[in-house]
């Protein structure tokens, strides 16, 4: 093998290692973002469940109230 092809092979190897490292870093970054968004989604689901519970109680309380007699305007 001539020296120029060895140097070229070493440079290519370094280039591919660097690219692989960048891809791994990006995957780690996306995994962290996925974990963060998953936690946020869980919080939103819990909040929605709480709101549905409160709204359910509110609707039940409006159905159980007795109606007041209609107001007749004065003459």
pLDDT at 52 over 80: yes
Q: Find the angle CA(41)-CA(45)-CA(47) to the nearest 5 degrees.
A: 115
14-18, 28-32, 59-63: which range is least confident on average? 59-63
Q: What is the pLDDT of residue 75?
A: 57
Structure tokens at 47: 């909040």
Summarize the confidence of residues 8-17 as an average pLDDT: 96
User: What torsion do the CA atoms of 46, 48, 51, 56 make, to the nearest 10 degrees?
Assistant: -110
Q: What is the pLDDT of residue 68?
A: 64
pLDDT in tens, 54-69: 877 776 666 665 566 6
Q: What is the pLDDT of residue 53?
A: 79
Q: Find the angle CA(32)-CA(33)-CA(37) to the nearest 5 degrees.
A: 120
């Amino acid at each position: 093998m001539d020296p120029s092809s060895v140097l070229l092979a070493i440079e290519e190897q370094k280039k591919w290692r660097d690219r692989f490292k960048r891809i791994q870093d990006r995957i780690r970054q996306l995994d962290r973002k996925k974990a963060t968004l998953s936690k946020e989604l869980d919080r939103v689901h819990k909040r929605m469940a709480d709101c549905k519970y409160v709204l359910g109680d509110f609707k039940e309380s409006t159905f159980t109230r007795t109606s007041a007699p209609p107001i007749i305007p004065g003459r």
